[in-house]
Structure 1
Amino acid sequence: MTVPRSIVKTSAVASAAAVLLLMPAGAHAEVPGGGDEQSSETSGDHNESEQTISAEVDGIRYDHSKNGKGETVGPVTPVTNWKPPACWFAPTHTPEEFRKLWAEERLPIVNDEAWVEEMYDKYERGKPYKDWNLDKTGEGMWWTAVFNSDPDVEGDTTECFENPGFWAANEERPEHEQAVDGEILSGLAYAQLRVPDTDISLSPDADGKHVVNLPTWAWLDESTFRPVSVTASVPELDLSATTTATPVSLKLEPGTEDAELHPASGECEVNGDGSIGKPYTKKAGNEDPPCGLTYLRASSSGEPYPFKATVTWDVSWTSSDGTSGELPSGSYGTTTELTVGEVQSVNR
């Protein structure tokens, strides 16, 4: 059922108001002049360190208890142009709530009489629903569109705007392509993942003087880089999905072409114990590190090299409905300025 175009007025404000009028409950949209027509409701519980353990956004409950924590954590950036779902359908209204939403609040102010009649035919006059399914109260719910309140999310929301809602019994899992399921929840959980800053150990350290032709060792402690996960759920459906990000490699970028990488690819794999690279010891002398780099030219005065270290995280998910899968790998990195000199002695 397509939103009638005759309700869209010539002015920008009137047009926006018409679209917002017919937007399914839970939708999020910006209105002219700034602000939101409807902001998402958010609630949460916190631990003693004020780290959010659980929160509810757009009708989805999130468990962050195994997520990355601290002031330096950040979101995983997908290595592709993947985006979380822009909208989905979920059980949002009882029969009386759905009837009131349309019959009392929305339809009385729509000026397209033909479309209003279509709505009454569909939901009240038995084509196919009768009397808003009031006689089935307690047996099911009306499923309507919920829009992702993240303003940076993009995606096709056509079906969410054009479908006012459909009915599903309590024990029924709708076959609608955009009905909330484990896969949709996994994508929403992905967007909530937070991983630790790539604060790697260096020898010489970041504040020390790095020397031309002397290897710089790099490593990450296994206690810092462990898998993180977020669980997204719809309690009313007893449905959840857990999305887990696992560190798999560290990529080094020296900030100049005048450098050699160790290994040559610049990709340091995770060791069996979960660490990356190996700490420098005096016994190693000037041998090449398993993870690190060697600068071949000194940095200019006052212009250190922008050394970047980025951890790649593999992302997978499992759902309570028995489904599972992979999501695009993500990355999160840090840039550190390194000064490189010609001096042939250095303190490690």
Structure 2
Amino acid sequence: MPNAFADKTNPGAGSFGGGSSSGSDTSASGGREGDTLTSAVSGAVIFDRSKNGSGQSAGAVTSATSWTPPACYYAPKYTPKELSAQMRQVWESSAPSHEWALKTQNYFVNGEPYKDFNEDREGEGYWWDAYVTKGREADPGAQDCDEMPFWVDEGDAPPANVPQAITSEMLAQLAYAEIRVPSTKVDLAPQGASKVNLPTWVWLDTAKFKPVSVMASVPLLGLSATTTAEPVSLKIAPGTDDAVTYPASGECEIRNGKIGDPYAKGKADQTPPCGVEYLRSSGNGSYKLQATITWKISWTSTTGQGGNLPNGTFGDDQNVVVQEIQAVNR
């Protein structure tokens, strides 16, 4: 993780700031109240997951493009007294080198550019520092937030030259990483083994596939954003080239809240709106049919801003046994 306080001439010296905590969840002093995570760190991002997908089969969506949420960001982290107490403790220890201690003392105490940690401005603003997004500690992008902590007056915007400073859109992106959606295990007919050259109907229980959302916020700033995922289509991959899909693209759109149609007696001669037809037996094994739901991702915020983020996908495999139709000679 980046550490703006680290003594470059004495690795390991200094242990505060510069992304030293994963603010997109909780600090060690945080906790949980129902489905909402809380943090004692004043500027940490907290999440309300009460409208998220749940259950053992739920999983995280993956961006359909190469886009990923930010690995680090800046937000309020310390009051003047908190930062002063922590830094003075470091300076009094035997770890920091003289060069590093002098550099940071000049920066925070001696007016280059701050004076006495701005302690005379207690309650008028906060020291902003870096947070690393939970689960992204090893990501190279987590090293991008390597600025020294900086002061922001309460109610003011952070400096324009700090691109990773938290915004409503960044909150939406962080919430994206917390989205969980239901399993994509599909229903198949006929039940049991499928038959060569006969359509296998595919459908999903649409009651499970309702929009889900996560809200991310920095209460200290009165800033929040809600990211919502809504299912739009089901993609079928038969698991073999010896198959055709219905429709030919394998993309089954969600129409009128339905993903495919359940098979019913009397439909044997019909073409399923969503399905697969295997052209060769799976022999003594099975094919891995993959069903992937595409989710449209959008966001809104307390600032009135909003828009779309890259679509997300979540898929799962299931084994399909395909047998030859047995002919009976009389």
TM range (shorter): 0.7 to 0.9
Name the amino acid aligned to 1:214.
L
Give the alignment of 1:1-348 within 5 angstroms: 4-8=7-11, 17-18=12-13, 21-24=14-17, 27-28=20-21, 42-46=30-34, 53-56=35-38, 59-106=44-91, 108-151=93-136, 154-161=139-146, 163-174=147-158, 175=160, 176-205=162-191, 208-271=192-255, 273-301=256-284, 303-343=285-325
Alpha-carbon displacement from aligned partner over 1:214-249 (angstroms, at most 9, x marks no partner): 111111233111111101111111111111111111
Say which SS state the counterpart of residue 156 (structure 1) adopts: helix
Residue 111 of structure 1 and its aligned partner are, at CA, apart by 4.1
Distance in 2 (alpha carbons) for counterparts of 1:140 and 1:28:
21
Q: TM-score, normalised by structure 1?
A: 0.83
Aligned partners of 2:184 and 2:293 also within 8 Å: yes
Distance in 1 (alpha carbons) for counterparts of 2:140 and 2:92:
28
Name the amino acid aligned to 1:118.
K
Alpha-carbon displacement from aligned partner over 1:151-186 (angstroms, at most 9, x marks no partner): 56624334523x221111111121321111112211
Say which SS state the counterpart of residue 256 (structure 1) adopts: coil
Distance in 2 (alpha carbons) for counterparts of 1:41 and 1:291:
50
Further displaced range: 218-227 or 233-242: 218-227
Aligned partners of 1:28 and 1:40 also within 8 Å: no
Residue 187 of structure 1 and its aligned partner are, at CA, apart by 1.9
Distance in 1 (alpha carbons) for counterparts of 2:276 and 2:142:
47
Residue 24 of structure 1 and its aligned partner are, at CA, apart by 0.9
RMSD, aligned α-carbons: 2.4
Distance in 1 (alpha carbons) for counterparts of 2:249 and 2:92:
62
Distance in 2 (alpha carbons) for counterparts of 1:128 and 1:198:
55
Q: Which has the higher helix share?
A: 1
Distance in 1 (alpha carbons) for counterparts of 2:28 and 2:213:
23
Alpha-carbon displacement from aligned partner over 1:265-306 (angstroms, at most 9, x marks no partner): 1011111x22211122233232211110111111112x0111
Cα 1:148–1:239 change in 2 (3 A) is same
Cα 1:232–1:69 change in 2 (3 A) is same
Further displaced range: 164-173 or 57-66: 57-66
Residue 66 of structure 1 and its aligned partner are, at CA, apart by 0.8
Distance in 2 (alpha carbons) for counterparts of 1:275 and 1:338:
23
Cα 1:215–1:246 change in 2 (3 A) is same
Q: TM-score, normalised by structure 2?
A: 0.87
Distance in 2 (alpha carbons) for counterparts of 1:274 and 1:41:
43
Cα 1:203–1:106 change in 2 (3 A) is farther
Q: Percent identity?
A: 41
Cα 1:152–1:108 change in 2 (3 A) is closer
Distance in 1 (alpha carbons) for counterparts of 2:149 and 2:222:
21
Distance in 2 (alpha carbons) for counterparts of 1:5 and 1:116:
11
Structure 1: gaps of 5 or more residues: 9-16, 30-37, 47-52
Name the amino acid aligned to 1:283.
G
Distance in 1 (alpha carbons) for counterparts of 2:253 and 2:137:
32
Residue 42 of structure 1 and its aligned partner are, at CA, apart by 4.7
Distance in 2 (alpha carbons) for counterparts of 1:159 and 1:167:
19
Alpha-carbon displacement from aligned partner over 1:72-119 (angstroms, at most 9, x marks no partner): 111112223333322111111111111112123247545432332232
Distance in 2 (alpha carbons) for counterparts of 1:212 and 1:113:
77
Residue 193 of structure 1 and its aligned partner are, at CA, apart by 0.8
